[in-house]
Structure 1
């Protein structure tokens, strides 16, 4: 019956309200049982009866003796509904209208004779019955005591009439309101969760356009925002997967088409002379190399995504590493007519995988040379501040449009899609791989560009990382 969250919340709120009312009722009952409210009413009734009994009859009572005195006070007892006890100056009971009830103790007799005013008190044991009494002197040091049983039931009736009944009526109204408010509260909490379950089923069925409107308690609103963010990421992941498949298919199709075409030319004799056959074989080889690079890059990205690449943790002299990379690309830069300015200076040694970092800077400097026109310039410099090494690679090319700058690290994204094929043509994975390598070193890679003035790529690497087992030295 109480399987849904709303019904359980409703029951919980109802139990809390019921327990609160029960606690209040128990507290009132405890207070009522310990209250002297009923006792005060008994004392007042006795004090009102005392003048009626003693007025003009105090001396007369003292003139009576034995059975006549007892019968007289018994008649007065029936009229006043109060136990009457006559006490002698020697603190002895001369007559008791209810002698079969709990006897008056000596200490009560002595205490009742103190002073000339009315004395209040009680005697008897809870098991035998407790009596409330008042005492007043008569003549010649005789005293009269009026007593009445302590009214437990009367207390209940008084509390019921004056306190409990109004409180129970208010409690009934409060209970009704608590039931209604409990239903509203449980609905307020459960409704967003029900909506979340509905949207979750829709997302599971492939509808990624569904979103939740934050509502309900703060925790539920936070859960809704997190859920929306999760759906957006799943949607982006699904789109990236579709784009990835489309891009891979396209990148595979182009070289395979070239390979198939030129291989067919060799087979059917279209390439008859030796030069034609040599050209066809060269195209087949170049496209096969391109396919090989593509497959290697895809495998490397897949291993990075799966965390299956082990990066070596060695001391890396970043200054020497950059000098070696520039030296390897110097011939290519010279052929392209690009001036490479290398002004890194001496930088601290860091901990990392030197081969992987060399791959990053090889890619960045190679891209800078490709996108710099003849007689242009590529500048490489570095700096160290606050525990971070920053390496800047800047070219003087045409720059990157602002709307495309945020996408250059996407896989298979290429700025110059019209660039002719061949060994130098990439597939848009170099920057993606480079950024993953930098991230694996707990670093950052950012790009800045201005149309007509060129682009700058900055790699920031920590000199000492949290997971280093060996601290890097400040200098070589």
Structure 2
């Protein structure tokens, strides 16, 4: 009898979890449609009618654009989490140049790097062909590099390196930022595993719900790879290693 009660309760919890996930996906889709309309309209205004607006109006438009980008990223991340946990996310594996992917990521993050005056050092081979999903591999390294930019104080140094061995390739992203304690490392790759540092005297950008590293880890696992974190503690920087097997 007791065993049956436990099984029934577990089934109820699974059902509630599925209802929650379905609700998140449905709401995310409902938000995404009007959000895309708003965001594309803002982009159109900036590209076509920019010269017709005063500086004050342009400042307001840029605020709307930034808010739209944050909402779009949040919705996209929520949908990715749903697809990952529902095992509905599949990869389009093809031969791609890993070095080219990393350079695209760095180029796309140039505004954030410039804003915080970071130095990104790249120690990369001329090229390296691996079987990956181009967009998802880019997403992995984008999330990790955003994390490094976010938690490294302005003017800090970030290094990006590839180490190729016989059976695997390591992509290493190292920073001299605030680092992670042992407790923080335990929670870092969980859903909504954001490390709250607001008001702790750290000059860092804390925006984001804490889904980026969770998604990066799950996408790495879908590539049959592994992701490691090495940090000796607070203010001692961190090193993320993405290992992709050949």
Q: TM-score, normalised by structure 2?
A: 0.72
Determine which of 233, 236, 240 is the counterpart of 1:453. Answer: 236
Residue of structure 2 equivalent to 1:436: 218
Question: 2: CA distance between counterparts of 1:414 and 1:391?
Answer: 23
Aligned to 2:105: 325
For the pair 1:414 / 2:194, whether they are aligned, the reply is yes
Aligned equivalent of 1:25: none
Other-structure match for 1:53: none
Q: Contact between 2:197 and 2:206, CA under 8 Å: does it hold in 1?
A: no
Shift of residue 338 of structure 1? 1.0
Give the counterpart of 1:393 among 173, 181, 184: 173
CA RMSD of aligned residues (A): 3.4
Q: Report the secondary structure of 2:131's partner residue.
A: strand
Q: Secondary structure at the match of 1:382?
A: strand
Change (3 A) 1:238 1:332: same
Identify the match of residue 77 of structure 2 among 286, 290, 297: 297
Count of residue pairs brought into register by the alignment = 209
Cα 1:300–1:384 change in 2 (3 A) is: same
User: Per-residue CA shift, 1:398-436, capped at 9, x if unaligned?
Assistant: 1111111011111112113538xxx98211111111111
* CA distance in 1 between partners of 2:56 and 2:130 (Å): 52
Q: If the length of structure 1 is used for normalisation, what is the TM-score?
A: 0.39
Matched with 1:355 is: 135
Contact in 2 for aligned 1:382/1:391 (Cα 8 Å) = yes
Measure, in 2, the Cα distance between the counterparts of 1:418 and 1:238.
36
- Displacement after TM superposition at 1:202 (Å): 2.5
Tell me the secondary structure at the aligned position of residue 102 of structure 2: helix
Structure 2, unaligned stretches of length 5 or more? 29-53, 200-204
2:88 alignment partner in structure 1: 308
Larger Rg computed on CA atoms:
1
Counterpart of 2:45 in structure 1 is none
2 CA distance for matches of 1:373 and 1:417? Answer: 13
Partner of 1:370: 150
SS in 2 for 1:350: strand
Map of 1:342 onto structure 2: 122
Q: Compared with structure 1, are the counterparts of its residues 275 and 331 closer, same or farther at alpha carbon in structure 2 (3 Å cutoff)? A: closer
SS in 2 for 1:406: helix
Matches within 5 A, 1:80-159: none
Matched, 1:202 2:10: no
Q: Residues of 1 paired with 2:100 and 2:58: CA distance?
A: 41
Structure with bigger RCO (C-alpha 8 Å, 6+ apart)? 2
Match of 1:379 in 2: 159
2:196–2:206: 8 Å Cα contact kept in structure 1?
A: no
> Mind listing any 5+ residue stretches in structure 1 that lack a counterpart?
1-197, 209-230, 253-273, 464-476
